[in-house]
Amino acid sequence: MSDNVVAREGARDAYGGPEMVQLLTPEGERVDHPEYSRYLDGLADEDLRGFYRDMFLVRRVDTEGTALQRQGELGLWVSLLGQEAAQIGVGRAMRKQDYAFPGYREHGVGWCRGVQPLQVMSQFRGVDQGGWDPNEVGMQLFTIVIGNQVLMGTGYAMGITLDGDVGTGDPDRDAAVVAFFGDGATAQGDVNESFVFAGVNNAPIVFFCQNNQWAISEPNERQTRGPLYHRANGFGFPGIRVDGNDVLASYAVSKAMLDRARDGQGPSFIEAFTYRMSAHTTSDDPTKYRVDAEVEVWKHRDPIQRLRAYLTRSGKADQGFFDDLEREADALAETIRAGTVGMPDPDPHGMFDHVYVEPDHALIEQQRAEFAAYAASFED
């Protein structure tokens, strides 16, 4: 093992440092925080079981997505294995009128916003032009260009301010944006430009960085010498690191920052300190750049097992609850498999239909005709 790998593992054993907000330890023990514990006061036992159900079912969706890609039914799959708590926490902290701008791994956020698993599968199968209606669920489509969605989210948040839908005191009107990105995206110009625009315009946006330790094959120390959440200070708004494997902490901190944004206090930066336990995508082989020992360390911090230990120890869930959830997950998996394989192929000529708002566009019509002639040549 190289000195660099040893140094990385030693640094990560510190697990986020003393400033990281944590409300549930890896062993499933509740701990208090002087500032953020109060954001859990309104949660009932049913809500806590709901967090577990969300994470458990989203992981099953993820498992099926990987399997379907390996079987040739999806063109690609981007796994969120290990990042469920970060996404469910912030997803459940959002209100209906809030808006999410995801990257390409936010299946858990989509679950919370009402995006159906088959709508996600259709996007990776390539049979439609997006999968879901962004305005219907308050979440934009996945963005493959690294960091581009952060600029779009910032612009949308500035629009919320111009519309007067922030700082009114009306909980059904005041809105905020959450822009999602990974640790690798923090090195992109688009993301840093977003910080500038959001800061100087006091935009109601929460920048939610899922630091899963690896930007494809590049570790954190190849991108930055300091904690990512410290970057917010240079742009004039607060930054905070939260235990991204602790769904309670993710929910509490996200709720606090979203409330702040809706009240008109401007942007904030949340670094969810987590780990990508699977490959970057199904086209990636993580064994080429990281050691198994590192993955094993993070398996002991699994977000789902952590919450299960707490629910069991505190008597908030019994074995019947977990058994019922297993059956629900099996049924969901069957629906996903059958629905994905049964998706009809799209009309290839439909790719020309929505390029421009105007129905008649000379160049598009020329390309449509050329493609039609090309397709017809195979029939002969």
Residue with tokens 């259709």: 122
> Annotated catalytic, 300?
no
Tokens representing 324?
A: 């019922």
Closest CA to 277 of 60, 66, 79: 79
Torsion of CA 4, 7, 8, 11, to 10 degrees: -160
Q: Which of 230, 289, 337, 361 is catalytic?
A: 289
Rounded alpha-carbon distances, angstroms, from residue 20 to 33, 45, 241, 245, 316: 10, 25, 5, 12, 26
By the 8 A CB rule, do 143 and 110 touch? no
Q: Which two tokens stand for residue 323?
A: 């058994």
Indicate if 280 belongs to the active site. yes
Strands, E assignment, 109-224: 177-182, 205-211, 214-215, 218-219
**Set 60, 92, 125, 280: catalytic member:** 280
| Burial degree of 152 (CB within 10 A; 0-12, 13-18, 19+) | middle
Catalytic one of 59, 113, 276, 306: 276
The helix (H) or strand (E) run that includes residue 335 is helix 319-341
Here the tokens at position 30 are: 């509740």
Active-site residue list:
276, 280, 289
